[in-house]
């Protein structure tokens, strides 16, 4: 029996993970659950799965959870402290980090320090502090298993192979709802249009990231840390059918691909079962019905966020952290209707331009740089909102952050 904790249990990944638990109740036991604000759903999950510990993001949400009158579960603190408490619980073997945004960093590090296997669905953790996290995992002898479908596919393709066998990794991307549209057509697109992802059902922020191709850019950075490869060994290819989840080219020119139905329960189950394979409660992929499989080069003129992610990765140190923070600010402003779709990469680029490289060797330093980048990005976004297109006008330059 593998004992698991799920951080972000009320989100789409968390609910899919619990569906995997339902399918393999004889193999998986839920020990800990943590959620954001959805106290009603977490209460229902606690009643069904009987975890030993649970946490919520805010005091108000925790108060609502307490009103449910649940028995037999210890309620942890709130926010990052609550996530850490759930992730480091002594009865947990594996922690699935599916919490949104940057709040999962401390919990992942705590899980590693306590010797837990980490199933990682939160790409921001490695984008913010990839070196710090992977160094800790190596030091403690802890496995980090990717849950993102692309990295999960690469992990499967590399199983049993030597690192020296790798020539390059190929991450596939659906292309999002605006695939094939020129840059000139994107300035007036609405949030409603951008939220119509052609393949996956996801949260609002990650769906916008998919529309800008920033999601793929963040995955490029994540792949660098998960698989120990250089930026020039990671390519992105647009694959609108989303049947091939990613590929690895070996040094002899062989191309190894992982194909499967588009359902997050598969990569989640792989992470839960590894190194074993369990039967999946899903239909097999029908290649004849899948039909034609297409592959295209991404258009970085129309979608410059992918180019900016490569720029940050090549610079390394604190640049990926700044990229992520600026992107979160820009996407939030776009979803609020305060800036346009094409302003998202502008906010990110101006924030990167203003940042001087710094080492990311402690969580405290990560939080300090993250805060600076968010503040600066808000100033850029505010200037754009006011119609000041030259984002350097009237905005402080803080390269020392």
pLDDT in tens, 223-274: 999 999 999 999 999 999 999 999 999 999 999 999 999 999 999 999 999 9
pLDDT bracket for residue 203 (50, 70, 90): confident
Question: For the residues 297-311, what does the mean pLDDT come to?
Answer: 95
What is the reported pLDDT for 400? 43
pLDDT bracket for residue 58 (50, 70, 90): very high
What is the reported pLDDT for 397? 45
User: 2-122 and 317-385: same fold?
Assistant: no
For every residue of 2-31, DSSP letters joined together read EEEEEETTTSHHHHHHHHHHHHTTTTEEEE
What is the reported pLDDT for 185? 84
Fold of 2-122: Rossmann fold (3.40.50)
**What architecture does CATH give domain 317-385?**
Orthogonal Bundle (1.10)
Question: For the residues 59-80, what does the mean pLDDT come to?
Answer: 87
Share of the chain above pLDDT 90, in %: 79
| Dihedral angle sign, alpha carbons of residues 146, 33, 115, 1 | negative
d(CA 299, CA 306): 9
Polymer length in residues for the chain: 401
What is the reported pLDDT for 398? 43
73-80 contacts, C-beta under 8 A, 24 or more apart: 73/46, 76/34, 79/103, 80/106, 80/107
pLDDT bracket for residue 191 (50, 70, 90): confident
- Low-confidence winner among 115-119, 128-132, 149-153, 195-199 (lowest mean pLDDT): 195-199
Query: Domain segments of the chain: what residues?
Result: 2-122, 151-262+284-290, 317-385
Residue 177 in this model has a pLDDT that exceeds 90: no
What is the reported pLDDT for 237? 97
């Amino acid at each position: 029996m593998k004992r698991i904790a799920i951080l972000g249990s009320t989100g789409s990944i968390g609910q899919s993970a619990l569906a995997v638990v339902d399918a393999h109740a004889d193999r998986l036991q839920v020990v800990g659950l943590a959620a954001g604000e959805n106290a009603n759903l977490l209460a229902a999950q606690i009643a069904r799965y009987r975890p030993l510990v649970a946490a919520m993001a805010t005091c108000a949400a925790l108060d609502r959870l307490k009103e449910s009158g649940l028995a037999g579960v210890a309620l942890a603190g709130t926010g990052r402290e609550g996530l850490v408490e759930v992730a480091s619980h002594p009865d947990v073997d594996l922690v699935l980090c599916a919490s949104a945004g940057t709040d999962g960093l401390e919990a992942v590090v705590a899980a590693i320090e306590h010797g837990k296997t980490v199933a990682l669905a939160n790409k921001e953790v490695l984008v913010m502090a990839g070196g710090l996290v992977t160094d800790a995992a190596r030091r403690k002898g802890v496995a980090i298993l990717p849950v993102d479908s692309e990295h999960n596919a690469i992990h499967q393709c590399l199983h049993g192979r030597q690192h020296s066998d790798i020539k390059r990794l190929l991450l596939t991307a659906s292309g999002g709802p605006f695939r094939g549209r020129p840059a000139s057509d994107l300035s007036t697109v609405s949030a409603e249009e951008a939220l119509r992802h052609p393949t996956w059902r996801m949260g609002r922020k990650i769906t916008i990231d998919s529309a800008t191709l920033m999601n793929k850019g963040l995955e490029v950075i994540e792949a660098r840390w998960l698989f120990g490869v250089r930026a020039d060994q990671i390519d992105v290819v647009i694959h609108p059918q989303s049947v091939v989840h990613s590929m690895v080219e070996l040094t002899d020119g062989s191309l190894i691909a992982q194909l499967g139905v588009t359902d997050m329960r598969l990569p989640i189950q792989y992470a839960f079962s590894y190194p074993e394979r369990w039967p999946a409660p899903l239909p097999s992929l029908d290649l004849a019905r899948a039909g034609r499989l297409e592959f295209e080069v991404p258009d970085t003129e129309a979608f410059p966020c992918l180019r900016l992610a490569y720029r940050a990765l090549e610079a390394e140190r604190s640049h990926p952290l700044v990229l992520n923070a600026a992107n979160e600010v820009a996407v939030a402003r776009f979803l609020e209707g305060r800036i346009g779709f094409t302003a998202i990469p502008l906010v990110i680029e101006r924030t990167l331009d203003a940042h001087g490289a710094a080492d990311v060797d402690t969580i405290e330093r990560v939080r300090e740089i993250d805060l600076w980048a968010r503040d600066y990005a808000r100033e850029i976004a505010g200037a754009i909102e006011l119609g000041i297109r030259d984002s350097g006008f009237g905005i402080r330059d803080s390269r020392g952050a």
